[in-house]
Amino acid sequence: MAKFHDQIDDVLAKFITRQRMFFSASAAEEGRVNLSPKGMDCLRILGPQRIAYLDLTGSGNETSAHMEAGGRLTLMFCAFDGAPLILRAYGMAQIHRRGSQDYEELLGHFVEHVGARQIVDMQVQSLQTSCGYAVPLMSFEGHRPNLLRWAETKGEDGLKDYRRAHNRVSIDGLPTGWD
C-alpha cells in the first residue's frame, strides 16, 4: 500500500543512497513528458526536503527546459535488489548551470564528472513509497564508461559547442536557458 511522507527521514535516505540508478521525470504545461534514467553516483540528499543531482551533457536537455517552464520534477527510485520498494520524490526544482555561483557552491557535494553541465536542485514537497513487487531483481555490474569517454574526447571547447548545438531548446522547442 502506498504511503506518503513529508520529508526524507533516515530510513528513506538510506534507501535512496543504496540505489545505483534513479529516474528523473519532468514536464511543461504543453508538450512531451520527459523521463530519464540517471546513474554514476551523481545524486545527493542535501536536507530533509532537498535533493540535488549533477547532470551530465547529453543528447538533449529536456529537464532544463521543463524547469524553466515551471519547475515540476519527480524522482523515482526502485529497489532492484533486496527488499522490494519504490520511492517517488515530488517537488519543484531549479537548474544551476556550470560556471554559475550556485553551481560552484553545490559542486563540493559531488565528484565532478567530465561533461557535467548543470546541477538540478529540488525542493521536495512530498514523497511516496509503494510496494515495488513487480520490479525485477537485477544485479549491478558497473557504470557504463561511454558517456565519460565521449565527453573526454570532445574536450571542454567541444562540449561547449555541443551544448550550443544540441542543448539550447527542448524537443518541443522550449528554451533551456543555455546560451
Tell me: the pLDDT tens digits for 77-118? Answer: 999 999 999 999 999 999 999 999 999 999 999 999 999 999
What does pLDDT average to over the chain?
Answer: 96
**Mean pLDDT within 26-32:** 95
Distance CA 13, CA 44 (A): 10
Q: What are phi and psi of 114, to 5 degrees?
A: -60, 135
Distance CA 88, CA 72 (A): 13
Given a cut of 90, whether residue 64 has pLDDT beyond it is yes
| pLDDT for res 1 | 75
| pLDDT for res 152 | 97
| CATH class of the region 3-166 | mainly beta
Query: What are the strands, taking DSSP E only, across the chain?
Result: 3-5, 22-27, 33-38, 43-47, 50-56, 72-78, 86-97, 116-130
Given a cut of 90, whether residue 167 has pLDDT beyond it is yes
Given a cut of 90, whether residue 178 has pLDDT beyond it is no
Given a cut of 90, whether residue 179 has pLDDT beyond it is no
For residue 28, give the 3-state DSSP assignment.
Answer: coil
At residue 67 the predicted structure's pLDDT band, cuts being 50, 70 and 90, is very high
- C-alpha distances (whole Å) from 117 to each of 2, 12, 51, 86, 111 are 35, 28, 17, 28, 13
